Amino acid sequence: MHRTLEDLRTYRPEPGVPWALLDATIIDGTGGPAFGPAHVVILDGRISRVLARHDALAGLADGDYSARYPDEVAPEHRFSLEGMHLLPGFIDAHAHIGAPDQVESTDYVFKLWLGHGITRVREVGSLGIGFGRMAEAARRSAAGELAAPIIHPYLTFGREDVAPPPRTGDEARAWVRAAREHGALGVKFFGAAPELMRAALAECRALDMGSACHHSQQTSPRANALQTARWGLGSIEHSYGQAEAMYADRVLPAVPAEFNYSDEAMRFREAGSLWVQGARPSDSQWGDFLDELVGLGTTLVPTFAVYNAARDAERARNREWVREYVSPRLARFFTPCAHRHGSFFADWTTEDEVLWKEQYRIWMRFVRDFALRGGRVCAGSDPGFIHSHYGFSFVDELELLREAGFQPLEVIRAATLHAAELLGIDGETGSIEAGKSADLVLVGENPLRNLKTLSGVGHYSMDEGGAVVRRGGVEIAVVAGRVVDARRALREAREFVAACAEA
């Protein structure tokens, strides 16, 4: 008799002892269709074997699939998961662990991530916290000493806690080397003076470090996404810098005479017009830019989820997870305020939302066309800003990629294998294959049918008796072979929010 899902929740694998997840349907992250029932054997944090009926039929494995359970695994280490789906651990390609003015505790953030099956994050910038603290969290997460996804830290270019802010190309290169010595795996830019950014990107390449850029409205006129991609940029974040690289009838975006970039509300209101002012698919600039971008190997991390509130601010304020899962400090951070980044939804009008809806139509078409030409797109949620929430908004991002035209299997790949490629660790993780790290997500519903079932609040539904129920949610996350009860992680996040509210 095999053990059950409930047994798996508290299972602690032992060194040198193989264990197995049996009879699940596997969505392996490569883009190939689901298959099963199949078995995954794990030993010392790695997937040692994947047994599937189609391999037996193809003669790649023992032909007798009726004697199919992996004999190297003792019965007490086998877990029967019939009817469930197993995926590679999700990778949020644009994440922040949260600064002290956003969240009361990073453990709360980690629980929300693990509760949504996020087993790795690309932490872009280490914003608002000292890098020493980030490097320590990254080290402990990789060593399994911290109940958290494995953190891949990027440092914001020019920070003075790394090295003196660079003024020359040589100093920019030296800054990147110092960031590397501090343990950064990549550099996050908000744009920079062209000669500094060009030198820093060259150094990132030379050191095999990642690079990501938020092409701010302020810096884009000197270095838009096409220029930085030519300098070797790894990934283009958000909606900025791209439309600006292919205007058909202007060189710079038009802004009102009174526009002031330091005014957050004005900044985001105008940001909604960047694509609307820009080229359309029928313009030659559109295809030329896409072809060059794809040819350069640049990745897009659109983070659709973080601007989604601009299409419907009332909905964003009242999502079903807000009451139980948004902590008091984060709720306060989201409240409109001139001093907090992205908290600008006061007097947000019909006209603003219509503009952003139009912007999304054009922007999504661009991202889709980029993928159709062979470009890599990854899922990033940019949590902690503009009503984007840890874990929950990662599921939003998957739905938004679907809305942009990605097929469900493409969406899952954007969240797994393609993100691993972006991080340069696709030999290590990102798909369910023998030899890779055991980074896995176990769910009760088929996410290809309905991505909403991945949300921590599940999918609003009805049972056979006609009662309203919530279906779905992640059951188990496996991080480098360590089993995490995802439901428990979410329960603890809820309890933390309740305790903060009482205090």
What percentage of the chain's residues is helix, strand, coil (to nearest 5)? 35, 20, 45
Nearer CB in complex with Zn ion: 212/294 = 212
The Cα–Cα gap between 23 and 49 comes to 14
Shortest distance (Å) from residue 326 CB to Zn ion: 18
> Cβ of residue 385: shortest distance to Zn ion, in angstroms?
7
Q: Which residue matches tokens 């790649």?
A: 60
CB 399 → Zn ion: shortest distance, Å? Answer: 19
CA proximity to 122, closest of 456, 425, 492:
425
Q: Cβ atoms within 10 A of the Cβ of 72, count?
A: 12
Q: Among the candidate windows 227-235, 365-373, 378-386, 390-398, which touches Zn ion by CB under 5 A?
A: 378-386
CB of 165 to Zn ion, least distance (A): 21
Task: Read off φ and ψ for residue 394, nearest 5 degrees.
Answer: -65, -40
Residue (of 486, 484, 458, 459) closest to 473 by Cα position: 458
Q: For residues 246 and 301, which CB has a smaller minimum distance to Zn ion in the complex? A: 301
Site string for Zn ion, 433-452 (x = CB under 5 A): --------------------
**Binding segment toward Zn ion, per CB under 5 A, in 223-231, 349-357, 381-389, 435-443:** 381-389
Helix and strand totals (H; E) in the chain: 18, 18
| Shortest Cβ 388–Zn ion spacing (Å) | 9
Q: Could you give the 3-state DSSP secondary structure of residue 26?
A: strand
The interface mask with Zn ion, positions 333-372, x = CB under 5 A, is ----------------------------------------
Q: Nearest-CA neighbor of 21 among 32, 5, 45?
A: 5
Q: How far is CA 480 from CA 46, 147, 188, 276, 356, in A?
A: 7, 12, 26, 44, 40
CB of 124 to Zn ion, least distance (A): 6
Residue nearest to Zn ion (CB): 382
Closer residue to Zn ion (CB): 40 or 91: 91
- The Cα 492–Cα 463 span in angstroms is 27
Query: Which range of residues in 105-113, 139-147, 375-383, 427-435 is near Zn ion by CB under 5 A?
Result: 375-383
- Coil, helix or strand at residue 186: strand
Work out the burial of residue 193: count CB atoms within 10 Å of its CB; fewer than 13 is exposed, 13-18 middle, 19 or more buried: middle
395 Cβ contact list (under 8 Å, min separation 6): 116, 451, 452, 454, 455
Are the CB atoms for 479 and 149 separated by under 8 Å?
yes
| CA–CA distance, 283 with 246 (Å, rounded to integer) | 9
Q: Which is nearer to Zn ion, 92 or 382 (CB)?
A: 382
Stretch touching Zn ion by CB under 5 A, among 198-206, 248-256, 353-361, 379-387 = 379-387
Judged by beta carbon, residue 382 or residue 475, the one nearer Zn ion is: 382
In the complex, least distance from residue 381 CB atom to Zn ion, rounded to whole angstroms: 9
Nearer to Zn ion, 106 or 277 (CB): 106
Cβ-based nearer residue to Zn ion, 154 or 286: 154
Contact 299, 237 (CB under 8 A): no
With respect to Zn ion, which residue has the nearer C-beta, 352 or 382?
382
Minimum distance of Zn ion from residue 98's CB (angstroms)? 11
Of the listed pieces 103-111, 184-192, 377-385, 451-459, which binds Zn ion according to CB under 5 A? 377-385
Q: Binding-site residue total for Zn ion (CB under 5 A)? A: 1
Contact window for Zn ion (CB under 5 A) among 270-278, 289-297, 369-377, 380-388: 380-388
Nearer to Zn ion, 369 or 382 (CB): 382
Nearer to Zn ion, 13 or 383 (CB): 383
In eight-state DSSP terms, residue 380 is -
Q: How far apart are CA 193 and CA 200, in angstroms?
A: 11
Strands (E) across 296-354 are located at 299-301
Other CB atoms within 10 A of residue 254 CB: 11
Pairing of strands 474-479, 482-485: antiparallel
Query: For Zn ion, which is the closer residue by CB, 88 or 158?
Result: 158
Name the one range near Zn ion by CB under 5 A: 260-268, 376-384, 442-450, 485-493.
376-384
Q: Is 244 in the site for Zn ion (CB under 5 A)?
A: no
In the complex, least distance from residue 175 CB atom to Zn ion, rounded to whole angstroms:
20
The residue among 19 and 157 lying less far from Zn ion, judged by its C-beta, is: 157
CB 201, min distance to Zn ion, A: 19
Q: HEC profile for 156-198?
A: ECCCCCCCCCCCCHHHHHHHHHHHHHCCCCEEEECCCCHHHHH
Stretch that binds Zn ion, among 103-111, 154-162, 374-382, 465-473 (CB under 5 A): 374-382
CA gap 86, 23 in Å, rounded? 10
> Is 99 or 265 the residue whose CB approaches Zn ion more closely?
99
Q: Give Cα separations from 120 to 85, 150, 338, 486 (angstroms).
A: 19, 5, 32, 14
- For residue 468, what are its two tokens? 């309203």
**Least distance in angstroms from the C-beta of 94 to Zn ion:** 6
Question: Which residue in 382, 399, 439, 475 binds Zn ion (CB under 5 A)?
Answer: 382
Give the interface with Zn ion as residue ranges (CB under 5 A).
382
